[in-house]
Amino acid sequence: MERKPFYITTPIYYPSAKLHIGHAYCTTIADAIARFKRLAGYDVFFLTGSDEHGQKIQQVAEEAGVSPIEYVDRIVAGFQNLWQKLHISNDDFIRTTEERHQRVVQEIFRRIYEKGDIYKGTYKGLYCTPCESYWTEHQLDENGCCPDCHRPVQEVAEEAYFFKMSKYADRVLAYIEENPDFIQPVSRRNEMINFIKQGLEDLCISRTSFAWGIPVPMDTKHVIYVWFDALTNYITPIGFLDDKEKFEKYWPADIHLVGKEIVRFHSIIWPCILMALELPLPKKIYGHGWLIVDGDKMSKSKKNVVDPLALIEEFSADAIRYFLLREINLGQDGNFSRDALITRINSDLANDLGNLLHRTLNMIGKFQGGMLLPPQGESEVDASLKANAAEMVKAYEEEMESMQLSSAIKRVWAFISRANKYIDETAPWVLAKSPEKKQELANTMYNLAESLRIISVVISPYMPVTAERIWKQLGLPGEFSEMSLGDIRAWGGTPGDLKVGVPEQLFPRIEEEKEEASSSKQEVPSGKEKKDGEKKKQKKEEGHDEISIEDFSKIHLRVVKVLAAEPVPKTEKLLKLTVDLGDEKREIVSGIAQHYEPEEIIGKNVVMVINLKPAKIRGIVSHGMVLAASHEDDLQLLDVDMPVGSRVR
């Protein structure tokens, strides 16, 4: 069957400076959409690139003492490296300095000129000779001088080419009004309608004051205005001049994804150019919001420009992608903060997703020798898990189709929590103790592996590397890159006799050093001190000495969540637990290994004494103690259904 084409673009970026996390945000959104569409079976063409002409580039190159092309070559190599590190799956990268693009721009100019919609006129402006810059009245400084060098400007008139935008204003307005989906979100659409209603003037599209641009074909002392040049990038790589079939397949573009401040160029100037060329208009211009940093707009002077490469190096591309796509609602401005990023990595990636995979593979290894067994029959809780998976996939598809990237991934996370809860509900460690429950156990293990298979596919537009790692750890057959939504719409794609792999950590927890609390500064009692202390404690317990309420209030008890649990090597009784106190994480050693499997307690909210002096047990500093009730051979942790951080009195 012929696949439906889908064409998505990002803006082409100026190589005037290094790209920051805001640029990475824009490209990541487009990449996630492109990857989703591929999963949905579309024949996707995803374009990004660089916008390399103009006076500003010429100036920075001069300042750097190199030619403009040497300058842009170096910067653009950096863009390409960044996109590769961020796993951007673009099908082409267009540079406006490429010959294939220059030909298109000149041809378009010629066609519109021959049609009579480009004419030669006089550009009147305020010119600063030392700076070689034109300014408008409202750009001048408070003394009416050049805003850069503060010297007087002169009124000059320069011969220039103009594009008859005014001729197309009514048609563009009608198009925007008749096609509510053309400009999104709706707030941007309203802004554009108001803008056009104020009247469109013809646009000056050539300059003679600098040379770094594409020459006007019939008058080479002029270079073409950078936006006229840049916008046409969208039709160059899909064969506008040289591949009719390809062009007709992908044009009009399905989405031009752009930042909110450049919606105007894309939804007014670009449509006017396309109308003059008698080409159809793109289906959608989507204006996303800006990424601000710790509540502030990024700028060099504020020294708050976040370098995406450094972040990728430190936290991995998938973690950054997940954060950007989950944390910010598309269309609105969003905040980037390192703390929020670390919280997401620890709670969503290391904890929710990482633990689900780890617990599942661990249990399949321990209880079934690493093999899945074919499922047979189902319990109520199995049926509910399957129904939840189907609902999640359906809602996810709908939300991805409508570009609700944050809501879609939240659905996936709700399902991950559901699957973690399923482990507690089915208690496989109990099933494993009864031979007659073998099939029930097999069903549970199968359902968990199948849930993870589905999860790996739906997270792949967000975290392509992690998705494939999950797939490989599960030991699933086939190429991950060939998976589609069709493979997860129905339950049961995991082979019933699969040999699963060994669990590997997906995301390590990030422990930021806290200035105020460092356990190494705390006194750690020696083995002898500890023994003496324990003896005293035992004595007291036996004697049931009374204590005052003040004594009791010295014991700080709190509800904590067990984030991770693992046996302490070469011991039978000890588990090392990582717990979340609400405002910090701690490690403790607990003598409960004969009563609990590690998987059984991960995710439980239990009561802990948090102000116990740290103790070193088998080389591990244990900082606190979880409470348990014991009776004869039985022991149960005090687990409570209360939020993490609740005080117990």
Q: Which residues bind ligand ME8 (CB under 6 A)?
A: 11-14, 22-23, 25-26, 51, 230-231, 233, 258-259, 261-262, 290-291, 298
Residue 108: exposure state from Cβ atoms within 10 A (0-12, 13-18, ≥19): buried
3-state secondary structure of 53: coil
DSSP label at 303? T
Structure tokens at 504: 């590997």
Nearer to ligand ME8, 259 or 567 (CB): 259
> Least CB distance from residue 102 to ligand ME8, whole Å?
15
Residue number, 82 or 423, with CB nearest to ligand ME8: 82
Which residue's CB is nearer to ligand ME8, number 19 or number 458? 19
Shortest separation between residue 324's beta carbon and ligand ME8, angstroms: 10
| Pairing between β-strand 183-184 and β-strand 206-207 as defined by DSSP bridges | unpaired
Bond before 11 cis per omega within 30 degrees = no
Q: Name the residue nearer to ligand ME8 (CB basis): 89 or 304.
A: 304
Q: Map residue 221 onto helix, strand or coil.
A: strand
Q: Which of 117, 139, 114 is nearest to 126 (CA)?
A: 139
Question: Shortest gap between Cβ of 267 and ligand ME8 (angstroms)?
Answer: 12
Q: Tell me which residue of 152, 106, 108 sits closest to 129, measured CA to CA.
A: 152
**Least separation in angstroms between CB 22 and ligand ME8:** 2
Residue 223, Cα to own-chain centre: how many angstroms? 39
What dihedral angle (degrees, nearest 10) is formed by the CA atoms of 239, 240, 245, 249? 90
Element housing 160 (H / E): strand 154-163
Q: In the bound complex, what is the minimum distance in angstroms from residue 235's beta carbon to ligand ME8?
A: 11
Instruction: Name the minimum Å distance from CB 23 to ligand ME8.
Output: 5
Residue 109 or 127: the one with the smaller Cβ distance to ligand ME8 is 109
Question: Hunting for tokens 């599209």 — which residue is that?
Answer: 205
CB of 178 to ligand ME8, least distance (A): 24
* Residue 259 beta carbon to ligand ME8: minimum distance, rounded to whole angstroms: 2
What tokens appear for 375 in the block? 């499922």
When the beta carbons of 79 and 367 are compared against ligand ME8, the nearer one is: 79
- Of the two residues 103 and 437, which places its CB atom closer to ligand ME8 in the complex? 103
Q: Are 469 and 342 in contact (CB under 8 A)?
A: no
Tell me the closest approach of the beta carbon of residue 598 to ligand ME8, in angstroms. 42
Query: Least Å distance between CB 12 and ligand ME8?
Result: 5
Residue nearest to ligand ME8 (CB): 259
Site of tokens 């920051």 = 20
Which CB, 191 or 378, lies closer to ligand ME8? 191
Residue in the structure block whose two tokens are 């999963």: 39
Residue 609 φ/ψ region, left for φ over 0, alpha for ψ in the -120 to 50 degree band, beta for the rest: beta
Nearest distance, CB of residue 567 and ligand ME8, angstroms: 46
Residue given tokens 């403790």 in the structure block: 588
Residue 387 phi/psi, 5-degree rounding, is: -65, -40
> Closer CB to ligand ME8, residue 50 or residue 443?
50
Pick 23 or 101: Cβ nearer ligand ME8: 23
> Looking up tokens 């006017």, which residue turns up?
272
Closest to ligand ME8 by CB, 230 or 488: 230
Query: Please, are residues 32 and 477 in contact by the beta-carbon 8 Å criterion?
Result: no
525, 526, 527, 533 alpha-carbon torsion, rounded to 10°: -40
* 355-368 helix and 464-474 helix, angle to the nearest 10 degrees: 10
Length of the chain: 649
